[in-house]
Structures are given as C-alpha cells and as structure tokens.
A and B are shown apart, each in its own frame.
Chain A
Amino acid sequence: MLELRNLSVHYGPKRVVSEVDLTLAPGQTLGLAGESGSGKSTVAMSVLRLLPRTARVEGEILLDGDDVRTMSWGRLRAVRWAAASIVFQGAMHSLNPVRRVGDQIAEPMRLHGTHGSVAELLEQVELPREKARAYPHELSGGQRQRVMIAMALACGPRLVIADEPTTALDVVVQAQVLAVMKRLVAEQDLGLLMISHDLSVLAETCEDLAVMHRGELVERGRTREVIANPRHPHTAALTAAFPVIGDPAHRWAEPAPEPEPLLQVRDLVVDYGRTRAVDGVDLTIGRGEIVALVGQSGSGKTTLARTIMGLRKPSSGRVIFDEAEVGRTGKALKAFRRQVQLVLQDPSSALNPRHTVFDAVAEGLRVHGLADEQEALVTAAVERAELRPASLYLESLPHELSGGQQQRVVIAGALVLQPRLLVADEPVASLDASVRGEIVALLLRLRRELGLASLIITHDLGLAWQIADRVAVMHQGKIVEQGTVDQVLLTPSHEYTRALLRAVPQV
C-alpha cells in the first residue's frame, strides 16, 4: 500500500533523510522509532507531501502505486485524508480552539464529499456523541487525542500515520489511547505508521519496528526481535534507556541507610478557588535522599512542588526545612530558596533565550548578592553539571545547545548556590532517550558526591524505579501510598498504584 524507495530529503545542503526504503501493507502496523532530529517525522510528512517548500525530496513515495511526488495538485488533494490521514502530535495545538470538535471532525468529510456521521466516529473512539458539541478546551488531553483519531478516520483512509500520538499524555491516558488505536487498526484493517521516540509505546502497538538514526534507517524487523536482540548499537541504546520496573539492572540508585529528615511537609492543603489541589499531604525527604513523587497529570504533584518551593501560598499546613519552619515572606524565604533549587521540565523554556549560559548560571548568585568569585563559582558549577570544559559553553546562547546540554545548564544554575535539595519537575520527560540516561546518572552522581537530596516529580514510573530511594504516589491531591521503591512498585498496596503500574507499556 505504501512504499518508500530510496527516499532522501534535503534542506539546503543538509540531508535530513537519506535513502530510506520502507513498505507497509494494509493491516500492517509499523513503528518508526528515533530521537529528535533523526528524520522520522520528515519521513512521515513526506508521505502526504506536507513538507515545507524548502525541502528537496528525492526517490519514490508510492501510495497505492502512485508516486506522491509527481501527483497533480488536484489528485494530491483527493488522496490527502481519503487515502492516508495523519494523527498529529499535540492535539492541543492541532485543534482549532474556537470551533466545536464535531465541526472539525466533519470538516474533511465535507471537503471530500464523503458521507458519514460524526456520532459514529466518536463512538468508535469511545467518546460519548454529545462531545461533538464541545470545544477543545472543554476536553481532557486524552479526549482531545481521541478527537484527533476520529478526525483521521473521517474519510475512511486505509493508511493512518500517527506522529507521537501519546507524547503529552500520562501513562493511564496513554494506555487508553493506545488501546483505542489498536482496536481500530484490527477492526478496520488499517495500515498504521506510528512514530515515537518511546520504544515501549511502539512495542505496545506495532508488529514491525524500524529505527532511524541521523536520517538513516538503521534497523528493521519484527518488534519483539528488534527489542530483544538489537543489532545496531543505537537501537540497543534506545532499548536500554527505558527502564523495566523490577529489573535490578535498571535500578541505578545505590541502597542508602535511613537518613535524617531534611524537609518535612505536614498536613499541607492548597486550594485553587473551590478546587482542592493538594489535600492534607505529609511528606518527608531525608538528607541525601531521592524521593519520587508520581501521579497522573492533575493529581496535584506539581502544585505540591510549587508550594514547597514557596512559589504558591498554602491554604494551611507547614513546611519544615532543617528543623525550622520555612518563612513565607522576605528574607527567610530568600534564604530557604538558596538551599532548595528548582529544575524544570522543559530546559528550552526554562532558560531565557537572550541570556548566555554564564548569565543563566550566574543568575542565582546575582539574586543573592554573591558577586565575589562569580566566574570561578559559575565555572565550577558548569563543570559539575558535566559541561566540560566550561569555557566552551559559557558564552553560548541556549538555542545553540542541545536539549541535554540545556538541562545541564539548568542544573548548573541550581548547583551554583550549593543547595541541599533539588526539586525536579519531570527532569527528563522532554529529553531524548540517550540523553535521559546521562541526566539520571548526573543526578545520582550529585547525590553521591555532594549529598544532594532530590524530590523528583514524574509520571514515569520507570524513572522512579531507576533513580529513587522512596516513592510517594499522589492521586487527586492526596498521597495514597508511600514507601521504599521495592515496596511501592513491586508490591503495591493501593488500588491506584496498581492501576498506574498496569498502564505502563511493556517492552
């Protein structure tokens, strides 16, 4: 049905895809894995000729025997959506916020003159038909992604291309969306080309797997075999990057004795208007201890972290740091903030695009009026964060660095104040698989060498298994279970923890 022969794509002199051969038959599911910049999305977009004008495409792209490259404009329009459709990444941005989703699902049907009913499509993706009248902001992330799937199916295509369909979703919702896609592919005998950086997601849905690296197809085969016996080193790196819960080889944290408490949260309550985001939380982090706070989006874990940092006022409850209650204003809070540092999820937005690495790292020093030896302190922190030699990086602007390097800069900016606790909100979620491991290792090394405690907020149970000493599970504002990693992840006692663990895709 789909056949790519010798496909190469250039942007100017830069070759982003080189000589890719792929075939996909009806009813077949193919996963395309790779890191950012590997060319996987470019391959997918070339199928419907959706690449920008500046792209130069060579080779053949045969869709049911017709070459997409040489199709007339009218024919191409007819083929788009009716023969092959796309589930775009990030349903939040791909839906028009001011139109009802029903109208948006009906749009391709109207354009192509196909008959069908929006209600039926919604039922296929397990949404109630009344949702057709909803606007995108009234739907949750998972529901929006289902709307995108319904839209992709509107004209009865035989090929569906899904570009990172579950990337922004948490585990439970991801499992639901993947289940819907699997069922639809089986029922309607669709061909599915699914693109993801997450091998476990592809393993869950696709029979075949192709791995791309720097624009080249490095491996192709049955998913089970590729993951079990990767032949290319890059595939091996990708498989190793996703920790298997319960596998001692993926557990990187060394066992530590029960430490003295450093930060204690007592009966903390945070309200947003009438909604109670954090509902009576007790949490203790020991000196040099790494605690993972896991939960779905909306569970209140980020609000809890912000409140601990003093970025948000609690409605009631106490935060005790080093045996003294943390002040909520002025000097006391400023002193506390020197000891506790925040590492945010997306390093590209956590750095001011106009500030050089030096400025970004030195910001904390300037805030606290530590002007002496600024240069030496910044250099030391940057090297601690493993950007060596520091002089290579200090004058760079964030956009000149890779995602992993940016995250190291954020970590250096935290380290420069010699904190005792890091609060990291999804520190590796937006990083590529190979970089992810390095950042996890860095956090563990900092703990070992500096005795730095961490509170890691994540929806990724694999990360918790990899790095944490203790795990706290948060659900609807409450901590429903906490204990050592082994207790919580291997012998969970709360039903919600079990549900979370079940939703983790298995490689």
Chain B
Amino acid sequence: MSRFDRSGLAGAAVLAAAALVAVLAPLLIDAESLDVTRVTADAWQPPGAGHWLGTDHTGRSVALLMAQGTGTSLFVGLTAAVLSVGIGTLVGIVSGHFGGLLAGALLRVTDFFLVLPALVLAIALSTVLPRGLGTIVLAIGLTSWPSTARMVRAQTLTIEARPFVERARALGGGHVHVIGRHVVPSVVPLVLVNATLAVASAIVAESTLAFLGLGDPTRISWGAMLHQAQLHGAVPQQAWWYLLPPGLAIVAVVLAFTLVGRALEAVVTPRR
C-alpha cells in the first residue's frame, strides 16, 4: 500500500466520522440542551465530567455545539463546492471547446472573478442578500469557480489537440459527440479531485464568513462558534475549550478532504 493510499484512507475515515456525527447529531441532541434560556449549567465551565468540552458563555455544552455545527459546515462546504465546480466545469469546457468570441467573452468574465478578492466579494454578497445558508453557499460558490474554469479549459484544450479527437471529427462527430464522449470523460477525474479540494476551501470560507459575523445567525457552525467565542471574550476568560475544538475540527476536516483529493488524483490518473 502506498503512502497516498494510507493517508487517503485516513482522510476518508475522518470524513466518514464527521458525516456520521453530522447525520446523527440533530437526531440525538435534544433541542432544549442547546436553548440558552433553558440550560442549567454555569457559563465558562472548563472541561469536566458533566461537560466533556466545557460550556460556553451561556452555559451550553461545547461538545454538543460542536456536534451540531458539523452538519452546517459540511453542508455548506459540499454544496458550495458543487456549485463552484459546476460553474467552473461548464465555463471551462465551453470556452475550451468552442474558442473564438464566446471563449474570449467567457475568459474575460473568468478573469474578472479571478482578480476580485473573493473574500471581499463574498462579504459584499452576504451583506446585500438576505441572511441565510443559501446566501453563504451562493457567495462562496460564485467567487471560487474561476480557478476550476481555467484548469478545465486547459485540460479541454489538451484533449482536443489529441489525434483521437481529430479521428472522432473525421468520423463525422459533432460538438455533442466530441464533448460527451471524449472531453467530459477526461475532464471528470480532474474535476472530482478539484471538487474535494474545493470542499476544503469552501469550509474554510464558510468559517471565515461566520467568524466575521456574516453567517446564518439561526444556525450553529464551527465558524459561528469561533465568532461567538471571540465576541463574548473567550480569550480573557482563558476558555481554550471554546476556541480550540472548532478550530481543530476545521483543520481536521479540511486536511481530510485534501488527503482524499490527493489519493483520488493518484487513482484516476489514466494509465498509458
């Protein structure tokens, strides 16, 4: 077993655990235990027998918050990545295959989004649009597709220069045939790998936005926990148990996605 296989498996295990927590948490956790008006524990309790990871500024259990936040972080990460990779793939294939004026126009749009500071644009979008998960997904998705588009376009151009595409054209194949039978199958592995990496960066972006207070106020996410911790003075309270777990969880999940992406890349690279 190669090094990539092992690290990829480790990544996959972390992701599986995170997914399990995300699915089970809302089912198992009693809504009351996360309701600030009904919690009984004291605020800023350090980790102990009652609360594994201590309590926050309102007395809620950090461990339960963590579990509850997993779903939001993963959901935003996955959907934003799908959106961004989807737009990127479409733009990339179309501009790579058709060329000419259309490609020129698409590439300028790509460049426009590429040079815009993504975070600033996302902040602007989430300020203007109504607050909610959808807005965050949209903000991240719309700002992170240009690099995928560039990469897919490059791959499309490489494939289209190969003699087997010329052969397909000579056989009488049109655009749909060339794109469907030759371009898409060779782009998909690359896109898949890219998607796993996009999920990782989308999770970071979500955390960033939430940390800056631009998240969905009705939902708990790891980024939002960090925001709350910072807002309510976890640092002066020296409540490391409120800051470290969400931060480490983000690192772990992002690393896991990256490892899986790397391993996938090694698997899908075509044998020659």
The chain A residues found within 8 Å of chain B, CB to CB, are 309, 311, 333-334, 337-338, 341-342, 344-346, 349-355, 363-364, 366-368, 399, 410, 413, 417
Contact = CB atoms under 8 A, between A and B. Distances in A.
B171 A363 contact: yes
Nearest 8 A/B pairs, CB to CB: A342-B170, A337-B172, A364-B171, A334-B172, A367-B173, A350-B163, A352-B164, A349-B163
B186 interface: yes
A311 B169 contact: yes
Contacts of B172: 333-334, 337-338, 364, 367-368
A363 B173 contact: yes
A490 to B, nearest CB: 34
B181 interface: yes
A334 B270 CA distance: 31
Nearest to A336: B172
B6 interface: no
Contacts of B163: 344-346, 349-350
Contacts of A311: 166, 169-170
Nearest to B186: A354
10 contacts: A311-B170, A337-B170, A341-B170, A342-B171, A350-B166, A353-B270, A363-B181, A366-B177, A368-B171, A413-B167
Nearest to B170: A342
Contacts of A345: 163
Main SS class of interface, B:
helix
Nearest to A338: B172
Contacts of B177: 366-367
A337 B173 CA distance: 9
Nearest to A351: B164
A396 to B, nearest CB: 13
Contacts of B186: 352, 354
Interface of B: 162-164, 166-174, 177, 181-182, 185-186, 270-272
Nearest to A330: B174
Contacts of B168: 363, 367
B167 A344 contact: yes
A344 B270 contact: no
Given A344-B163, A367-B171, 12 more contacts: A334-B172, A337-B172, A342-B170, A344-B167, A346-B163, A349-B162, A352-B182, A363-B173, A364-B172, A366-B177, A367-B177, A399-B272
B183 to A, nearest CB: 10
B171 A341 contact: yes
Contact of A349 (B164, B170, B181, B270): B164
A492 to B, nearest CB: 32
Nearest to A364: B171
A341 B171 CA distance: 7
A334 B175 CA distance: 13
A413 B168 CA distance: 10
A353 B270 CA distance: 8
A338 B166 CA distance: 15
A368 B177 CA distance: 11
A363 B169 CA distance: 11
A342 B270 contact: no
B171 A354 contact: no
A350 B170 CA distance: 11
Given A334-B172, A364-B171, A399 B271 contact: yes
Contacts of A346: 163
B271 A417 contact: no
Contacts of B164: 349-352
Nearest to B270: A353
Nearest to A359: B181
A344 B166 contact: yes
A368 B171 CA distance: 8
Contacts of B174: 367
B171 A413 contact: yes
A309 B170 contact: yes
Most A C-beta atoms less than 10 A away, residue of B168, B169, B170:
B170
B170 A354 contact: no
B270 to A, nearest CB: 5
Contacts of B272: 353, 399
Contacts of B182: 352
Q: Which of B163, B186, B270, B272 has the largest count of A CB atoms less than 10 A from its CB?
A: B163
A81 B168 CA distance: 46
A334 B169 CA distance: 10
A75 B182 CA distance: 50
Contacts of B169: 311
B98 to A, nearest CB: 16
A263 to B, nearest CB: 15
Contacts of B167: 342, 344, 350, 410, 413
A209 to B, nearest CB: 33
A337 B170 CA distance: 6
A428 to B, nearest CB: 16
Nearest to B172: A337
Contacts of B185: 352, 354
B270 A354 contact: yes
A28 to B, nearest CB: 38
Contacts of A413: 167, 171
Nearest to B167: A350
A309 B169 CA distance: 10
A355 B272 CA distance: 12
Most buried by B among A337, A352, A366, A399: A352
Contacts of A338: 172
A195 B164 CA distance: 30
Central interface residue in B167, B177, B270, B271, by most chain A CB within 10 Å: B167
B188 to A, nearest CB: 10
A334 B174 CA distance: 9
B158 to A, nearest CB: 12
